[in-house]
Structure 1
């Protein structure tokens, strides 16, 4: 029984011809370019990484290579899983969408490696359309308004903030000393835009308060802090 089980594990019934191998890599390369284009369209600005985008194509081809090696050999597939399980990746993912692209590249490589060309093409087409529709969605920017000045400016500053934002500015931090104050407020992008329509430049307006020494407006989002 053990000999029969061992023989079944060692059997390889999916030997590929040179033509099959080349076709697998050709289809994987074409679909890898589709992934490349989709990533380029859905990412823009400082968050876009050309090197990461190229690596998506390489990931697709490498996965195809692995699947060509494994074929239908169960023993080899188990050994490959064990070997790959020791690999540890430390590259930080800057954008949550990058994870979806990594899995997309792996899935295409697996499909091409087992010659499921139609499935990989249809699946990539559907994912491409969804990425076009939702890939450009970005989180709403949040702003930190950091105010520093002399203690004598505290009352005037708080009154100005209440008037500008109608008491809706989210108070985060307050640091004080005998001669120094620091207030930090969290604002939405909409609040900042509405305030600047009324008073012009928010930072310039607050800097005019007597005793103010510094006004900083910091934009924060999931992609990058500015």
Structure 2
């Protein structure tokens, strides 16, 4: 049984011509540059990482190199699977789209390594267009209204925020001590835009209240969260 399996593995092994390997790498370079351009234009300045983008190009070429080695030797491919299974990647993914680009690079490298150019061309074209179109889709920014004041003005502060935003401001945090109080209200971007047209801003309204010491409006978006 062992001899039969060994003979099968040896029989299925073949040498890939050097010209084919060079062509595979040239095609991999072309599509890795497509991935590079797609990543560059689908990410905003705040989340764009040039080093990560370069690593995507290298990942595509490395995957192509691995496929060039194991595609001509079935026995080696089995050993390579076992060797790669011990690798652990611990780099934090900043953006969920980064995981898509990593898998895209791996698939391109695999396809180029086995000379499946039509599949990689068609798939990359669709993915490229999809990411460019939907790469600018973002969730609406959230705003946090942070108020610090004296505990004696607790009722006035709550009433002022309630009236100003017509009850649409959501209280998330209320911290108190024996003489101080802190409020954190959550506001959507739509609410901010709607009520910013009023004659007086929310900060001006709150500073009319005695012993309100500080009013901060913080934009909480995906980039800040990371």
Alpha-carbon deviation of 1:143? Answer: 1.7
CA gap 1:16/1:204 in 2 versus in 1, 3 angstroms: farther
CA RMSD of aligned residues (A): 1.7
Mapped to 2, the partners of 1:215 and 1:11 lie a distance apart of 76
Moved more, 27-36 or 199-208: 199-208
1:10 and 1:143, CA in 2 relative to 1: closer, same or farther beyond 3 A? Answer: farther
Question: Which residue in the other structure is 1:168 paired with?
Answer: 168
Output the CA distance in 2 between the equivalents of 1:66 and 1:176: 61
Q: Tell me by how many angstroms 1:113 deviates.
A: 0.2
TM-score for the superposition, normalised by structure 2: 0.93
Where does residue 141 of structure 1 map in the other structure? 141
Structure 1 runs of 4+ aligned residues shifted over 6 Å read none
Gapped regions of structure 1 (runs ≥ 5) = none
For 1:104-119, list aligned pairs within 5 A: 104-119=104-119
- State the Cα distance separating 1:200 from its structure 2 match: 5.3
Distance in 1 (alpha carbons) for counterparts of 2:191 and 2:14: 62
Shift in Å at residue 98 of structure 1?
Answer: 0.5
The 10-residue stretch of structure 1 (159-168 or 30-39) with the greater mean CA deviation from structure 2: 159-168
Q: Counterpart of 1:76?
A: 76
Deviation by residue 1:104-150 (Cα, 9 ceiling, x = unmatched): 11110000000001111111001111111111111121122211111
Task: Please report how far the alpha carbon of residue 10 of structure 1 lies from its aligned counterpart in structure 2 after TM superposition.
Answer: 3.8
Cα distance in 2 between the residues matched to 1:11 and 1:79: 17
1:7 shift after superposition: 2.0
2:47 aligns to what? 47
Equivalent residue, structure 2, for 1:194: 194
- Aligned positions, number: 226
Whole-angstrom distance in 2 between the partners of 1:100 and 1:19: 31
Give how far 1:12 is off. Answer: 4.6
Shift in alpha-carbon separation, 1:6–1:174, aligned structure 2, 3 A: same
Alignment TM-score, normalising by the size of structure 1: 0.93
Aligned equivalent of 2:224: 224
